[in-house]
Chains A and B, each alone.
Chain A
Amino acid sequence: MDAEEHKLPLSQNPEWADVTPIPQDDGPNPVVPIAYKPEFIETMDYFRAVYKANEFSPRALQLTHQAILLNPGNYTVWHFRRLILDALGIDLNEELEFMSGISENNPKNYQIWHHRRWIAEKLGTDVASKELDFTKRMLFLDAKNYHAWSYRQWVLQTLGGWENELNYCHQLLEEDVFNNSAWNQRYFVVTGSPLLGGLEAMRESEVKYTVEAILRSPENESPWRYLRGLYKNDPKSWISDPQVSSVCLKVLSAKANHVFALSTLLDLLSHGFQANQEFRDAVDSLRPSNSDPPDSDLAKAICSILRHVDPMRVNYWTWRKNKLPLSV
């Protein structure tokens, strides 16, 4: 189809003269009525006709392209496009190129990612690095795009390419240490990469990395949760590892942004951690001057401070306080 023909409405295009378009039936008095544009109506009317006729032809493929540009969310069109691609034996590398152009304008469209997965699955491990590069480009546009992350995890698990993934996570966290998606991916790599030896083997270096990130931004929820995750199924090590309690102490002593440090220390205490006088002094120095008389119990004192500094969640911290065992 040349450029001139492309501009011609389908109803006047001789190439389409043999097709009778099928109009959309919205039913009587639509609940969510739709104001369609004329171009959309015509394209979809012809699409319904070729779809119904199972026409696997180059012109039908071109028509799916037009329909996708008009509404990339219509999965029937995508499905039909896959049937045509299969039937015509089209080089799927070309299809990947076609996809890249559309994806950047529709980064949160489910069909686009699903279609891409279908192609990559067929092309196999050869396209692993290409697909990782593609998601990298998409994540450059939006580093928290859920679809892109989901697809990237699928590529790694199905096609491989784990070699540089930890570095990539590091790079994203250098750009934005608050990026929870990058922290999640880091956990995915540390626990799942066949090249790294698993969580326990990675724990020491990961704890060091995380502690540094926490000290840079103690108000950042993500590394605190990541730190806890590094001791999954091993609460004993979590309580006894001095790196965990000392990062709490350091943040508390800096006297700013200490909500997560306090809550982590509270968790540690609830699991049996024995705090020394240094911790008591650090917590005591954070006690608001207008608050109730000091709690002799450290965990209770922490809850009281949290109630004060995090009023949005005052009920949660009250509940934590009430849940504590009676002090001796």
Chain B
Amino acid sequence: MGELVVDKHVKYILSVEKRKDSFESVVLEHLRMNGAYWGLTTLDLLGKLDALDSNEVIQWIMKCQHESGGFAGNIGHDPHLLYTLSAVQVLALFDKLNVLDADKVANYISGLQNEDGSFSGDEWGEVDSRFSYLAICCLSILHRLDKMNVEKAVNYIASCKNVDGGFGCTPGGESHAGQIFCCVGALAITGSLHHVDKDLLGWWLCERQVKSGGLNGRPEKLPDVCYSWWVLSSLIMIDRVHWINKDKLVKFILNCQDTENGGISDRPEDAVDVFHTYFGVAGLSLLEYPGLKAIDPAHALPVDVVNRIFFQK
């Protein structure tokens, strides 16, 4: 087993532009804000956030803000909760939340809450428990949870719980590790983890570890580095992370590295991308891999950033 090639991953993230991978570029165009969050959080976890000029990033982020208060994936696009959280998270990384009109952003978010407590992702109405997390996490970072109806939001998330202990995208939707992270994260932030059957969910989550040591997101699916984040963070939030085999998971993630050019892929031997590089490094951070900053499992930001938000007011 090799080690984490920190310098190569830093180089990879900084040099994404030089790759001629136009397919990924086109796909990334509208969600550049997520790309910025994945890349910059990874750099921060690796202790290299200063490799970038924060002023330029912040300038660009603020150009992505819509008059409604929400943020778009790129300049001139429409706002969505997905990008609003990423924008706020990146500003938090740089300790620049003060450039925001927090009430304006909070109004945009709380305006997306529906009568039943659920959230739509944007003004056109797609509903998904993922959006409940985005809204709750973002309002929490902005100290504006009082702007939404937390009780209704929590009840909606609880209604997405399944008999296997997991959570789906809507009531009745299949349990999926990504959705579970969102629901458990939202419940953790709002102090509502009593809605989670921790032992049952913990067992379901640790059943996601397959022979190779990697984690899948649903029964009988292939393992993927991104679930290192979703499954692990959920297990940590419900205090059951010791139920998986950590050594084997570390080994699986490290085997997904491109040790020559940097970056991490979904599975060993596949092509790397920024998304999986983030999830791999974040997963290793949760596994307390040496040399990495610790990451907060609910807010998906480095712990020092979260501490700054909540304890240095």
| A and B are interacting partners | yes
Contact present for A27 and B56 (CB under 8 Å): yes
Interface string of B56-67 (1 = CB under 8 A from A): 110110010000
Given contacts A73-B27, A229-B164, A232-B163, contact A32 B207 (CB under 8 A): no
Residues of B within 8 Å of A150, CB to CB, are: 169-170, 173
Given contacts A32-B28, A48-B76, 11 further A-B contacts (CB under 8 A): A31-B60, A32-B16, A34-B26, A34-B32, A36-B26, A150-B169, A180-B174, A228-B163, A229-B163, A313-B207, A313-B209
Bound-complex Cα distance A222 to B19 (A): 42
Interface string of A13-33 (1 = CB under 8 A from B): 000000000101111111111
- The reply to whether the CB of A225 lies closer than 8 angstroms to some CB of chain B is yes
Residues of B within 8 Å of A314, CB to CB, are: 245
Contact present for B169 and A37 (CB under 8 Å): no
- Selecting from B95-103, B181-189, B215-223, B260-268, the interface stretch reads B215-223
Residues of A within 8 Å of B149, CB to CB, are: none
- Give B126's nearest chain A residue, CB to CB: A114
Residues of B within 8 Å of A25, CB to CB, are: 63, 75-76
Total count of chain B residues near the partner, CB < 8 A? 63
Contact present for B221 and A144 (CB under 8 Å): yes
Residues of A within 8 Å of B173, CB to CB, are: 146, 149-150, 153, 184
Contact of A313 among B26, B39, B244 (CB under 8 A): B244
Contact present for B25 and A34 (CB under 8 Å): yes
- The reply to whether the CB of B291 lies closer than 8 angstroms to some CB of chain A is no
Contact present for B17 and A35 (CB under 8 Å): yes
Contact present for B126 and A110 (CB under 8 Å): yes
- The reply to whether the CB of A316 lies closer than 8 angstroms to some CB of chain B is yes
Bound-complex Cα distance A29 to B53 (A): 9
- The reply to whether the CB of A79 lies closer than 8 angstroms to some CB of chain B is yes
Contact present for A31 and B26 (CB under 8 Å): no
Contact present for B220 and A179 (CB under 8 Å): yes
* Interface, chain A (partner B; CB < 8 A): 22, 24-37, 40, 48, 70-71, 73-76, 79, 82, 110, 114, 117-118, 144, 146, 149-150, 153-154, 178-181, 184-185, 187-188, 191-192, 221-222, 225, 228-229, 232, 312-316, 319
Residues of B within 8 Å of A27, CB to CB, are: 56, 59-60, 63, 75
User: Which of A26, A118, A232 counts the most B-chain CB atoms under 10 A from its CB?
Assistant: A26
Bound-complex Cα distance A32 to B57 (A): 10
Contact present for B59 and A32 (CB under 8 Å): no
- The reply to whether the CB of B283 lies closer than 8 angstroms to some CB of chain A is no
Contact present for B78 and A316 (CB under 8 Å): no
- Give A180's nearest chain B residue, CB to CB: B219
- The reply to whether the CB of B310 lies closer than 8 angstroms to some CB of chain A is no
> Smallest CB–CB gap between B34 and chain A, Å?
9
Interface string of B154-182 (1 = CB under 8 A from A): 00000000111000111011111000000
- The reply to whether the CB of B203 lies closer than 8 angstroms to some CB of chain A is yes
> Smallest CB–CB gap between A284 and chain B, Å?
25
Residues of B within 8 Å of A22, CB to CB, are: 76
> Smallest CB–CB gap between B281 and chain A, Å?
16
User: Which of A24, A31, A222, A316 counts the most B-chain CB atoms under 10 A from its CB?
Assistant: A31
Residues of A within 8 Å of B74, CB to CB, are: 24, 26
Contact present for B245 and A33 (CB under 8 Å): no
Given contacts A27-B75, A222-B219, contact A70 B26 (CB under 8 A): yes
Bound-complex Cα distance A70 to B30 (A): 12
Bound-complex Cα distance A134 to B78 (A): 29
Given contacts A110-B126, A316-B203, contact A24 B219 (CB under 8 A): no
Interface residues of B in 204-231 (CB under 8 A from A): 204, 206-207, 209, 211, 218-221
Contact of B207 among A76, A146, A221 (CB under 8 A): A221
Contact present for B174 and A146 (CB under 8 Å): yes
Given contacts A150-B173, A313-B207, A313-B209, contact A35 B30 (CB under 8 A): no
Contact present for A31 and B174 (CB under 8 Å): no
Interface residues of B in 77-129 (CB under 8 A from A): 77-78, 80, 122, 124, 126
Contact present for B126 and A76 (CB under 8 Å): no
Bound-complex Cα distance A222 to B175 (A): 11
Interface residues of B in 18-49 (CB under 8 A from A): 19-22, 25-32, 35-36, 39-40
> Smallest CB–CB gap between A127 and chain B, Å?
19
> Smallest CB–CB gap between A70 and chain B, Å?
7
Bound-complex Cα distance A187 to B173 (A): 10
Bound-complex Cα distance A120 to B52 (A): 46
Residues of A within 8 Å of B22, CB to CB, are: 35-37
> Smallest CB–CB gap between B71 and chain A, Å?
13
Bound-complex Cα distance A24 to B117 (A): 36
Contact present for A28 and B26 (CB under 8 Å): no
In the assembled complex, 18 residue pairs joining A and B whose CB atoms fall closer than 8 Å, in A order, are A25-B75, A25-B76, A29-B53, A31-B39, A33-B17, A34-B17, A36-B26, A37-B26, A71-B27, A75-B80, A82-B124, A110-B126, A144-B218, A146-B173, A180-B219, A184-B173, A228-B163, A313-B244
